[in-house]
Chains A and B, each alone.
Chain A
Amino acid sequence: MYQDVILDHYKHPHGRGLRDGQAEVHHVNPTCGDEITLRVRMDGDVVGDISYEGQGCSISQASASVLNELLVGKDVADAQKIQETFLELMQSRGRIEPDEAMEEVLEDAVAFAGVSKYPARVKCALLSWMAWKDATAKALSTAPDPSGTTPEETA
């Protein structure tokens, strides 16, 4: 479960700290007390920045770092596809063995495949990703949205 990639991100997180953004959300995982405050800045259709602050286990902290590394700079539609793929992997209860196509989409995030076997920890891995989804929906609904994306609720 604790892949080196995960421990690396835990010990050396990317993009930690709160910076400017159009939307902010605060999500908690009531079973273990993990918390995250996350801000999103959209530059047009591009994910300009994901900044965050929080406390929690190595899985939740590393996952936020991977989120930042993976999604910042991506077109929002691509970022949402990555988020959906990650969600699918994490909800697979260990049944999905990531193939090359999935690795290409998820990059470092495939390291969390093992976490999906531990139902108690899936929420830790998803905390920042659901927060990002929520914050992005907020940012897009406040800003005029030319792409017409309607975020759906899957949490």
Chain B
Amino acid sequence: MTLPPPTRRPLPGLLDTEAIRKDFPALDRVVHDGKKLVYLDNAATSQKPRQVLDTLHSYYERSNANVHRGVHVLAEEATALYEGARDKVAAFVNAPSRDEVIFTKNASESLNLVANMLGWADEPYRVDRDTEIVITEMEHHSNIVPWQLLSQRTGATLKWFGLTDDGRLDLSDIEQVITEKTKIVSFVLVSNILGTVNPVEAIVRRAQDVGALVLIDASQAAPHMALDVQALGADFVAFTGHKMVGPTGIGVLWGRQELLEDLPPFLGGGEMIETVSMHSSTYAPAPHKFEAGTPPIAQAIGLGAAVDYLSAIGMDKIAAHEHALTEYALERLREVPSLRIVGPETAVDRGAAISFTLGDIHPHDVGQVLDEQGIAVRVGHHCARPVCLRYGIPATTRASFYLYSTPAEVDALVDGLEQVRNFFG
């Protein structure tokens, strides 16, 4: 663009993105014949800093071995690095014990793991006929389908909280939704499609009153804000590594220790046992009880490096940066004619993923014309189709920001949308 950026004032709380962006090689890319990449698809996955990439290379080049079972140097190094990553993640979420951190392959696996623990559990945790499971209408499919499966297999009733017109959870009927029959309440901390930050305390309090367990899907929270599993008051917290500058293939399930001791394993295999005979087996203590087979070693170590990277910058500072940017983006997007925000319209209790529709222009067309200008957004139902049904739209365009996103990128988006409107207008 040749025009100067419109009346931009310095935003409070922004990070030094010029320095941060130097750590992320992918952000330097140009696409489509020389267009500078504007990467606004961070809710789908984040880019990776050199520090994480170097850690992965160095592990594979120097210390690659299987964990926990070798007596040689490389095996000991690999084990120390893998278990060291667990320590880092435990500290990152303020877990009371490192043994409460289970490595999985992603948040979906973490959520499925809890659903399967409860399906096979003994009383008082067992989900079966005559019990209820509670979720919400704004869940990602990964926090809907595992519960549908559990409900179909056990006969338990699946219930959910609906949404208000402004993209919040409707908790007005909380006492009818969460009842004495409820065994588990599973909900998202920050919505991947609406951006809504949900009121944890009210839900946890009601769940505890009726003796239900609480699982929080923190996939869109862990990358963006300080996460304290003790302060949340939940029984389980799930998140994934690749959205928080870590590699793909690594997720986390945090669970309260006494629950992890009581609940049965789901996947059986190597590493999760104590002794095995042909008749029966006994299991290793948590977290190993829930980590059958060779784990994603390099990926866990990479996640440890990601946690180091984010912690060095500071999660509170990252949250402040994104809050300022979200406020600015909402303000600028309001200038775009016929643009409708799907989700909370202010930055209060809101994350940095902003979904919108643009008149009658289909999101796929919006995304394609933005891509031609080098701007990467996500289009579709964002694995949260019930939200689209709720608001009567086939799909949305979603721009999502992260610690390296800049006000200039927000401006580029707004300019890009103007071109989309001219094109299809």
Residues of A within 8 A of B (CB): 1-2, 7, 10, 31-35, 55-59, 118, 120-121, 124
Contact = CB atoms under 8 A, between A and B. Distances in A.
B362 A31 contact: no
* A-B interface, 4 closest residue pairs, ranked by CB to CB distance from nearest: A57-B362, A57-B364, A33-B394, A33-B395
A10 B423 CA distance: 12
Given A7-B424, A32-B380, A58-B362, 4 more contacts: A31-B380, A33-B388, A58-B424, A121-B368
Contact of B365 (A31, A55, A57): A57
B302 interface: no
A59 B364 contact: yes
A35 B363 CA distance: 14
B44 to A, nearest CB: 14
Contacts of A56: 362, 364, 394
B423 A32 contact: no
Main SS at interface, chain A? mixed
Contacts of B361: 58
A31 B394 CA distance: 11
B380 A58 contact: no
A57 B394 CA distance: 10
Nearest to A61: B362
29 contacts: A1-B368, A2-B369, A2-B423, A7-B423, A32-B362, A32-B363, A32-B364, A32-B379, A32-B380, A32-B394, A32-B395, A33-B380, A33-B381, A33-B388, A33-B394, A34-B362, A34-B364, A34-B394, A35-B394, A55-B362, A55-B394, A56-B394, A57-B362, A57-B365, A58-B361, A58-B362, A59-B364, A59-B365, A121-B364
B394 A124 contact: no
A116 B365 CA distance: 15
In the complex, which of the residues A10, A33, A55 has the most CB atoms of chain B within 10 Å of its own CB atom?
A33
Nearest to A115: B368
Contacts of B394: 32-35, 55-56
A20 to B, nearest CB: 27
A24 B422 CA distance: 36
Given A2-B423, A31-B380, A33-B388, A58 B395 contact: no
Interface in B358-400: 361-365, 368-369, 379-381, 388, 394-395
Nearest to B423: A2
Contacts of A7: 423-424
Contacts of B424: 7, 10, 58
A69 B127 CA distance: 57
A58 B379 contact: no
Contacts of A120: 364
Nearest to A55: B394
B296 to A, nearest CB: 27
Contacts of B381: 33
Contacts of B368: 1-2, 118, 121
Contacts of A118: 368
A100 B4 CA distance: 47
B31 to A, nearest CB: 14
Interface in B334-364: 361-364
Nearest to A1: B368
A2 B388 CA distance: 26
Contacts of B380: 31-33
B106 to A, nearest CB: 20
Contacts of A121: 364, 368
Contacts of A1: 368
A124 B368 CA distance: 13
Interface string B204-220: 00000000000000000
B408 to A, nearest CB: 26
Contacts of B388: 33
A124 B380 CA distance: 13
A55 B388 CA distance: 14
A34 B380 CA distance: 10
Contacts of B362: 32, 34, 55-58
B379 to A, nearest CB: 7
B342 to A, nearest CB: 14
A10 B425 CA distance: 11
A34 B394 CA distance: 8
Nearest to B380: A32
A33 to B, nearest CB: 4
A2 B424 CA distance: 10
